[in-house]
């Protein structure tokens, strides 16, 4: 299976990785949009592009991909979002329902 870094190009890669990091925990487009500070339509567009590039057909497959490839980390105590946390560390405003510390 191709990886997202091998199938994306240019500026879209970073935003798609951030969306994957958030929707990978099962968040719907509205929840992801609120956390990322973008519109649900933009999240949906990125999610569909990611799924097409990776040849995935269901959101469950996308969640499994995100978990298996380190876009989310699940521990007994917390869920971590590496891509999203990198954005926060770069100085972006934290989303109000962030579940894990950076």
Higher pLDDT, 89 or 45: 45
Range of the domain at 66: 4-89
| Interval 28-81: pLDDT, tens | 999 999 999 999 999 999 999 999 999 999 999 999 999 998 888 888 888 887
Is 10 contained in some domain? yes
Q: Which residue has the higher pLDDT, 6 or 101?
A: 6
Domain with 16 in it: what CATH number?
1.10.10.10
Query: Strand 79-80 to strand 73-74: parallel, antiparallel, or no bridges (unpaired)?
Result: antiparallel
Split into its structural domains, the chain has a count of 1
User: According to the model, what pLDDT value does residue 14 have?
Assistant: 82
Whether the per-residue pLDDT at 17 is higher than 60: the answer is: yes
Distance from C-alpha of 59 to C-alpha of 50, rounded to nearest angstrom: 11
**Region of residue 21 (left: phi > 0; alpha: psi -120 to 50; beta: else):** alpha
The verdict on residue 85 lying in a domain is yes
Is the whole model's pTM more than 0.85, yes or no?
A: no
Q: Domain for residue 94, yes or no? A: no
């Amino acid at each position: 299976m191709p990886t997202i870094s091998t199938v994306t190009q240019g500026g879209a890669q970073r935003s798609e990785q951030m969306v994957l990091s958030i929707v990978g925990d099962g968040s719907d487009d509205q929840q992801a949009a609120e956390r990322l500070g973008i519109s649900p339509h933009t999240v949906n567009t990125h999610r569909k592009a990611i799924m097409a590039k990776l040849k995935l057909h269901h959101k469950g497959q996308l969640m499994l991909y995100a978990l298996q490839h380190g876009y989310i980390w699940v521990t007994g105590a917390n869920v971590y979002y590496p891509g999203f946390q990198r954005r926060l560390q770069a100085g972006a405003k934290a989303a109000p329902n962030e579940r894990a510390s950076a």
